[in-house]
Amino acid sequence: MYSENCVFCRDVIRDRKASIVYENDQVMAFMDIAPVEPGHVLVVPRDHYANIMDIDEPVYLEVHRVTRMISPAVVRAVGADAVNIGQNNGACANQRVFHYHVHIIPRFCSRELNWGRKTVEDEELEQMAVLIRNEIADRVGRIPELR
C-alpha cells in the first residue's frame, strides 16, 4: 500500500528524504523535521495506513515494538530524563500527516514542558540521527532510568 499524496510514503519511504535512524521490512524511524525537542523521532509503517482505525494489527504491533526499542536509544543519545510517546488520529486530534505514525519526544526535567515545534536544518537532523543510530547499535548499554 502506497499513497502518492502522502508525504511520508513519497518523500520518506520511497525517496528517503529523511534522517533515518532505524528501518526494517515493515517500519521506518526518522527524525521529525519540526521537532518539539532535539531527538524527536517518528516511527511509521512502510505501508500506508491513515490512522489507528485503519492499520493492520501485526503492523501496529511492529510499529510499537520498534518505538519501545528505539526510545531508550533516543534518551541516551540526547541525555534526556524521560520521553513522551504520542500518536494522533484525525484532524480534530491534531493529526497533520495522515499516515499512521508515533512520536518519540525526549523530555528534560530542567525544561518547561512545551509542545511548540522548532525549525532545524537537515544537517542538525542528520547529526542527531547518527547519535541515535549509534545508541541503537549499542543496545547492550544500560537502559536509562526515566524520572
The mean pLDDT of 21-28, rounded to a whole number, is 96
Q: Where are the beta strands (DSSP E) in 1-147?
A: 20-23, 27-31, 41-45, 82-86, 102-107
Domain boundaries 7-137, corresponding CATH code: 3.30.428.10
Q: How confident is the model at residue 141 (pLDDT cuts 50, 70, 90)?
A: low
Convert the pLDDT of each residue in 83-121 to its tens digit.
999 999 999 999 999 999 999 999 999 998 877 888 889
Domain boundaries, the chain: 7-137
Q: How confident is the model at residue 136 (pLDDT cuts 50, 70, 90)?
A: confident
Q: How confident is the model at residue 22 (pLDDT cuts 50, 70, 90)?
A: very high
Strand partners, 20: 30
Q: Indicate whether 142 pLDDT > 70.
A: no
Cβ partners under 8 Å of residue 76, min gap 6: 135, 141, 144
Q: Indicate whether 56 pLDDT > 80.
A: yes
The mean pLDDT of 125-147, rounded to a whole number, is 76
Residue type, 16: R
pLDDT at 109: 95
